[in-house]
Amino acid sequence: MDYAGLFDLRGREVVVVGAGSGIGRESALALAAHGAHVVLADRDEAAAEATAKLAGDNARVYPLDVLDSAAVEAAAEDLDSASALVFTPATNVRKSMASYTDEEFDRVVSLNLRASFHLIRHFAGRLARRGGGSIVAFSSIRASTVEPGQSVYAATKAGLEQLVKTAAAEFGGRGVRVNAIRPGVVETPLTAQMAMDESWFRAYADKTALGRWAQPEEIAGAVVFLVSDAASYVTGSMLTVDGGWTAQDGRYQPPLPREESS
C-alpha cells in the first residue's frame, strides 16, 4: 500500500460547485494544492475567476446556476471527465415558523434540497458510467440540532443527508461514494450577519469545545480526505467538523477537582 500517495489527486478532475467564496473557494484551493484539476462552478463568474487566480494553472471556471435543473444536467454531461463533485451552495432565512412566507420556504428548499437532488442524481449517474468516483455534499450540524428560526434550513439539511445515504446505497455498487460534511459555525458570507453581532458571535464560539468559530480553510481538509483514496471505503457518512459543538452539552461548566500529580 502506498500510504504516502493516498491524498495525491494528480490526474483527477474535481468539480467544485460554489467555488466563488467561503468553504467552496477554500475546498477548491486545497484540492488544487493536492494536484487535482479543479473546475470552479459558480453562478458568480467573477468570483469564480478570482478563485481561479488563486488556484493557478490547475483550475478553470464553469458558469453554473444550480437552480436551473437543465443546466445542472448539461453540466454533468459537459464535465464527463470529472472524477469527483463537491458542492456547497445553501441559503437560510432565519424566521419563526409562524412568520415564514411561502416564497421564503420555496427559496430555501429550492437551493438547499432541490438543487442538491439534481446535482447528486446527474453527477452520480455520470460517475457510475465512468466506473466510479466521489461526491461530497455540505450538510450542517443543523441537520440534527436546531434552534429557533432554523426550521426550514434544518429540514433541508436533514433531507440532504437522506439523499446522500440513498445515493450511496443506489450507486455504491458501481463505485460511486457519496458523503456529506457537517460543519459547525464557520465565518463565511452566509454567517456574516451573525458574526457582526458580538453577543451572537461570542455565544456561538462558547458553544464549541474549542471556544471559537472555524475559518473556511479548516473545513477543506475534510473535503480532500473524502475525495481522495484515503476515503476509499467511506460512503453514506456524515463527517462532522464542528469544533466539538455537538460533542458537549455546553450549558454549564461544572467545577472539577484539580488533578493531583503523583
Q: Which residues are catalytic?
A: 153
Read off the DSSP letter of residue 160. H
| 250 and 192 Cβ atoms separated by less than 8 Å | no
How far apart CA 247 and CA 255 sit, in angstroms, is 19
Cell numbers that stand for 232 in this block:
476509499
- What torsion, rounded to 10 degrees, do the Cα atoms 149, 152, 153, 156 define? 160
| 240 and 246 Cβ atoms separated by less than 8 Å | yes
Length of the chain: 262
**Residue 14's beta-bridge partner residues?**
38, 84
**Whole-number Cα distances in Å, 11 to 4, 78, 82:** 16, 18, 10
Cell numbers that stand for 62 in this block:
464553469
How many helices (H) and strands (E) the chain has is answered by 9, 7
The helix/strand/coil state of 138 is strand
